[in-house]
Every structure is written in C-alpha cells, then in structure tokens.
Amino acid sequence: MKFPRLLLAAAVPLLAFAPPVAATARPLQNTVSSADHSKAAPAVRIDPTYWWVGMKNPKLQLLVHAAGISGATASLAAYPGVALEGSQKLESPNYLVVNLTIGPEAKPGQLKLTFSGGKKLAYSYELRARNTDPNRTQGLTQADFIYMLMPDRFSNGDPKNDVVKGTRVNHIARDSMYARHGGDIKGIQNHFAYFKQLGATAIWPTPLIENDMPKASYHGYAVTDCYKIDPRYGTNQEYQQFVKAAHADGLKVVQDIVLNHWGSYHHLFLDKPAADWFHAFPTFTRSNYSAYALNDPYGSKRDYTLFNDGWFDTTMPDVNQGNPLVATYLIQNFLWWVESTGLDGYRIDTYPYSDPQFLMTWGKAIAEEYPKLALFGEAMEATEAQQAFFAQNILPPVNGFKSNLPAVLDFQTCFAIRDVLKTENGDLGQLYHALQADWLYVDATRNVTCLDNHDMSRIYSVIGEDFNKFKTGMAWLLTLRGTPQIYYGTEVLMKNFSNPDGKVREDFPGGWAADKNNYFAARTGQAGLAFDYVSKLANYRKTHPVLSSGKLMQFIPQDGVYTYFRYNEGGECVMIIANNTKEEKKVDGTRFAERTDGFSSGIEVVSGATISDLKALNVPAHTAWVVELRK
C-alpha cells in the first residue's frame, strides 16, 4: 500500500474542501462534515435499490432514507414467499432499517411497502429474477492477462458526459493532474480490439462508482454513492452493457472496490444513519499504516486500533464494519453489483485496513453466492509472510483472523523484479526467494502479478529506460506463475516517477480526438517495439497453456543468470533463462538436465531464433530468452 493514496495535494490543509459543519446532537470528531446543501436528496431512497428472488441468503436488509422516517411503522402487503421480519430505528430520525425474508417460493414482482405513523408514505420495491446463465460470472485463471487502466485517463468515448450538471467537479482540464480529463466507459469499450491485439483477456478499471468529491475525484477511491456509476463515466445501464459487450468480445471485467473507507461527501456520511457507522477519535487521527499491528505477538491494542480504525486520509472516513448493519450494507452492495452486471472479479483496495472479522464474513458471503467470482486484494506489504497473511494460507489464525481471500496482488514478486532490474547486476536471489515463499499459500498460483500500477513509479523509468531490461521484466511477468496484470501504457513505454502520483496517471496517447499521437492506431520507434514484444509473448501464452497451467521449476540463480521452466505432463516444456549482467554468459545447460532431458533444441518464441545446443548456452548481456523446447 502506498500511503496515503493521493486525494489532496500535500500542501492543502485539513478540511480545506469540507462541506459546512452543522450542529448535531452527538458531535463527532474525525469528521469533515455533517451536512451538505449543494444537492437535493430524493424524497425516499432505499438501499439496495432492488433485489432478487432465489438468492442463497434469504435475508434482506433495507436501509430506508427519508425525512422523519424513523417514527414510522413499516408494513408489507401480502406477498407470497416474502415476510416482514420487523424494523429498527437508528440514531438519525431520517433512517429506518426494514428486515425481510425472501423465501425460495417468492416470485419476481413489486413489494408494496407502507410507512405510517410519524411518516406516511408508500413505496414499491422491486424483486427481480436472477440471471440463470451459469457462465455469466467467469472468474479469473492463470490463463488470463489483466489490463489495468484509469478510466478518466484512458479514452474519452462520449464527450457529452464530460460535464455533468450538479456534480462538484463539473469541468475538465487535461492540463491539470488533479482535474477530470474526460475518459469514460465508452472510451474503454471503443478499444476492445486494442486489448485483444495486445493479448489481454481481462479489463480492470480503477473504481467506476460515483466519486463526487470536490478535489481529485478522478481516481475513484473516495466513493460517494455505493449504488451508482459516476455519471462522468456513464450510467449503471451503460456499465451493464459494457460488461455484456466485453463478454461477447471474449474479455472479462474486474471491478475495483473499496471496503475500508468512503469519501467524505458520501450521502451516508453527510447524513449519517448513526454516529457509530464511522470510526471517530477525539481529534483527527490517521491510520498508522502498519499492518504488522494485526499479527504482532507483542503488539499493543492501541497500535491495532489505530491501524484498523484510523482514517486512511483526511477526506476518507473509515467505515465501521464492526457495526452489523454497516457490514450487511456492504455485503449486500457487492452482491448487488455482481448480480446486476455479471462481472468476473473484484480487486479489493486497501484490503488489510478493513476489520478482520468483517473480512472473513464478507469473503464467505461473496464466495457462497458466487463461487466462480475472482477475489484478490491489495496488500502492499514488506515481506512474503506478511503478504501471505492476507490470502488463504497455511498459517494458524492470529487474533481470530484466518483469511479466506483466494488471492492477493503479488507485490513481493513485483518488488523483486523491480529491484533486480533497476541496478546493474541486481540480486536475482530476491526474485528466487519471493517465489520460494509460495509454500506459505494454499495456492499461490491464484495471485496476481504486476510490474507497476497507479500508485507506483512506472517500470520503464525505474529501470533507467533500458529496453533490454524492460523485455526481461515482461518475460518474467508473462511466464511466471500467477495471473499477470499490466498497467495501461506500460506496453508502449509510458514513463515517469510517482512524485506525485498524477505523473503516473497521464492520458493514454490517442484516447482523445485531438491527440497528436494515437497509440491505439499505430506505434513507432521503441513504443512500437515494446508493444510488439508484449503482444507476441502474451498471445503465445494464450495459445500455449503450459505457460499458465504448467508446473514451475526454478533453479537457484548463478553468476547473474536466473533459469526456470514451465512444463506439463503432456511433454511440453518452456525454458526461461535471463542474463542480468552486462556481459555475455556461458551457461552449463547440463545443470538443468532434469527438465531438458529428452529435448535437443529450442526456439526462442519472440525472436524465432533457434537454440541448437541446450547443454552449452551463450546468453547475451541483459537478455531474457523464452525457449520452447523441441525433441
């Protein structure tokens, strides 16, 4: 985790963009607002906005929001298979929780809810039929190659939604790294062919959910409405069509989500159901950003609490997942998005920062309803053991926490590759050891590997813009175990250091009609060579499952050379050998006999060069070969 994710410029004082604070009966600290008068709320709102019959969990919690609703009595007109299990008042007079049970015999239709007493109103709540396509939510496997992008910075497909009346940022300014630039869902969809040409099989946009913050709202990690696509990206219906169109084109969709915090302009923060829906301290308190507090056998309760309950940033209120009502609200929301769209996976932002008990409950509920759905979390930790702690692992429970998350982003492998390549004769042992630690996981092959992302300096800059080192890094990314992920523009050598983060979140060339260069249509020079290298290797990987489903055997690095093999029981074997020094290396290939016996030669899959002698290998300086062995 890069801490904290940049929302405000460092020089901006605390509360600089906070809405006005109104008096409350129970004043909160760690808060930047209590009321917002810039937008009129709907007269009645119920979350979830609709639901389905036939869900495995028959219980449904409705959060009703309307002025003075807490004094009302809820009733339900007779509806076969649906029972009203009571209601619950909250601290705010503007909320009421209504609990329903939806039995297996219930049919789609409209539930007639009536609220009488202190507040009189009627509401028709929709129950829908579930989608019955068993292949709609596909999940991810090692055979996938994920393309990660920032929607606002990728491509502007619909200029009509650049400015949306009523939003707090209602203009675009492409010359500002903190402003909106105009990219949207349509812009992503317009370039499905580009993803496929590259060899990608899945798309991971950073959060598309509404982020109606007054500053730096483009990145999406300060959600303001859990049930709404940001209107500057499109509509809920357009997102549903986007997922459907991606599936029709052979592409999967990963949705980026945030469990730990919301934005300070979230409608449930501006008008809180109760004070205990968010963590609060006597004075503003950040997280200590140290996940070690969760499993330190000698740790203090204070450090544990600060890590879990402290705010991630000044305008990112920490959601109290220990409140059962909040936990249910979150669980239902993320079930709602899967059923509404058919998306294929969730990437969970700031995964370690959420309440550990909630994480286990949330993970179990999601997996039970959608067993095929891919789940992988961001756990940017400093050691292999600490990273493995947040995925399904062989470790005993610690402080009552035993992760049920299938996978994490594999930052340990990422850090190792970057460190190896950024210095002359980098320590290959670091990469070897990162993989050796896979014994900690139930299944490390489910982890998602990468070279960079939106929070990190771009790989091409980190390695000194050395093209040979770039090819080595991509060769490792696309041939090691796990599901590889590439950050938008890496394939065309976009560069910069994350100081500040906006410098690694620049617009993709060609995403706007006025762009001088259009890398979607044509790529020249080193950018073209880089794209061709990634494309050729990624597409080879698609047609040769041995690189995704095959076993991995690595040999201890020697003399600046690292060698490993991907192989299967069908007799296929690919050798990956990389010389990370500035001199050609003569490698004794007999050392690899347990994998090369029975093979006499090989073809380097990108260049097409023949490797005629597997027992004596002459590997050029700063070169990686991906060699398909031949008998």
| Domains contained in the chain, CATH given | 54-128 (2.60.40.10), 146-278+315-516 (3.20.20.80), 550-630 (2.60.40.1180)
The phi-psi region of residue 503 (left if phi > 0; otherwise alpha if psi is between -120 and 50; otherwise beta) is alpha
Residue with tokens 């009609």: 513
The pLDDT of residue 29 is 36
Check the CA dihedral 55-57-59-63 and report its sign: negative
Active site residue 349: yes
The pLDDT of residue 40 is 54
The predicted model scores a pTM of: 0.93
Q: Give yes or no for residue 234 having a pLDDT over 80.
A: yes
Task: Say what angle helices 467-479 and 525-543 make with each other, to 10 degrees.
Answer: 20
Phi, psi (5° rounding) for residue 542?
A: -65, -35
Residue with tokens 């004070």: 275
What is the DSSP track for 134-187?
TTSS----TT--EEEE-HHHH--S-GGGSS-TTSSS----TT-SSS-----HHH
Task: Tell me the pLDDT tens digit for each residue of 462-473.
Answer: 999 999 999 999
Q: Give yes or no for residue 319 having a pLDDT over 90.
A: yes
Q: Which residues contact 450 (CB under 8 A, 6 or more apart)?
A: 148, 409, 410, 411, 414, 477, 484, 485, 486, 487
Q: How confident is the model at residue 120 (pLDDT cuts 50, 70, 90)?
A: confident
Tokens of residue 47, six digits: 């979350």
**What is the mean pLDDT of the segment spanning 106-123?**
92
The C-alpha angle with vertex 396 and arms to 393 and 401, in degrees rounded to 5, equals: 85
Is the pLDDT higher at 146 or at 10? Answer: 146
Each residue of 33-48: b (16+ CB within 10 Å) or e?
Answer: bbebeeeeeeebbbbb
Active-site pick, 152, 210, 349, 491: 349
Q: Give yes or no for residue 509 having a pLDDT over 60.
A: yes
Q: Give yes or no for residue 7 having a pLDDT over 90.
A: no
Q: Give yes or no for residue 18 having a pLDDT over 60.
A: no
- CA distance linking residue 329 with residue 447, whole number of Å: 28
Q: Which of 407, 276, 379, 257 is nearest to 330 (CA)?
A: 257
The pLDDT of residue 27 is 29
Measured CA to CA in angstroms, residue 283 lies from 29, 193, 222, 272, 300 at distances of 6, 51, 21, 19, 20
Give yes or no for a contact between 420 and 381, defined as CB atoms under 8 angstroms apart.
no
Q: DSSP assignment, residue 352?
A: G
H-run or E-run covering 257: strand 252-258
- CA distance linking residue 413 with residue 36, whole number of Å: 45
Q: How confident is the model at residue 2 (pLDDT cuts 50, 70, 90)?
A: low
User: SS3 helix, strand, coil % of the chain, rounded to 5?
Assistant: 30, 25, 50
- CA distance linking residue 147 with residue 478, whole number of Å: 13
Largest CA distance in the chain: 88
Please, what is the average pLDDT of the chain? Answer: 93
Task: Tell me the pLDDT tens digit for each residue of 525-541.
Answer: 999 999 999 999 999 99
The pLDDT of residue 175 is 96
Phi, psi (5° rounding) for residue 308?
A: -75, -40
Among 25-39, 392-406, 592-606, name the one with the lowest average pLDDT.
25-39
Each residue of 408-427: b (16+ CB within 10 Å) or e?
Answer: bbbbbbbbbbbebbbeeebe
**Helices and strands counted in the chain (H then E):** 17, 26
10 Å CB burial of residue 624 (0-12, 13-18, 19+) is buried
The pLDDT of residue 41 is 56
**What is the mean pLDDT of the segment spanning 246-256?**
98
Q: Give yes or no for residue 31 having a pLDDT over 70.
A: no
Q: How confident is the model at residue 134 (pLDDT cuts 50, 70, 90)?
A: confident
Tokens of residue 575, six digits: 């050798």
Active site residue 419: no
- CA distance linking residue 230 with residue 237, whole number of Å: 12
Q: How confident is the model at residue 9 (pLDDT cuts 50, 70, 90)?
A: very low
- CA distance linking residue 173 with residue 467, whole number of Å: 33
**What is the mean pLDDT of the segment spanning 109-114?**
98
Among 26-40, 61-75, 84-98, name the one with the lowest average pLDDT.
26-40
The pLDDT of residue 8 is 31
Phi, psi (5° rounding) for residue 624?
A: -115, 130
- CA distance linking residue 202 with residue 253, whole number of Å: 6
Q: Tell me which long-range contacts 362-366 makes (C-beta under 8 A, separation of at least 24).
A: 362/259, 362/327, 362/330, 362/331, 362/334, 363/403, 363/404, 363/405, 364/404, 365/57, 365/331, 365/335, 366/331, 366/334, 366/335, 366/338
Give yes or no for a contact between 323 and 331, defined as CB atoms under 8 angstroms apart.
no
Looking at residue 295, its amino acid is N
Active-site pick, 378, 410, 452, 455: 378
- CA distance linking residue 169 with residue 176, whole number of Å: 13
10 Å CB burial of residue 196 (0-12, 13-18, 19+) is middle
Is the pLDDT higher at 499 or at 19? Answer: 499
Looking at residue 593, its amino acid is A
Q: How confident is the model at residue 614 (pLDDT cuts 50, 70, 90)?
A: very high
Q: Which residues pair with 486 in a beta bridge?
A: 147
Q: Which residues contact 358 (CB under 8 A, 6 or more apart)?
A: 259, 321, 322, 327, 330
Task: Tell me the pLDDT tens digit for each residue of 424-454.
Answer: 888 999 999 999 999 999 999 999 999 999 9
Tokens of residue 425, six digits: 């004769």
Stated length of the chain: 631
3-state SS of 543-600 is HCCHHHHCEEEEEEEECCEEEEEEECCCCCEEEEEEECCCCCEEEEHHHHHHHHCCCC
Looking at residue 131, its amino acid is N
DSSP reduced 3-state for 534: helix
Q: How confident is the model at residue 523 (pLDDT cuts 50, 70, 90)?
A: very high
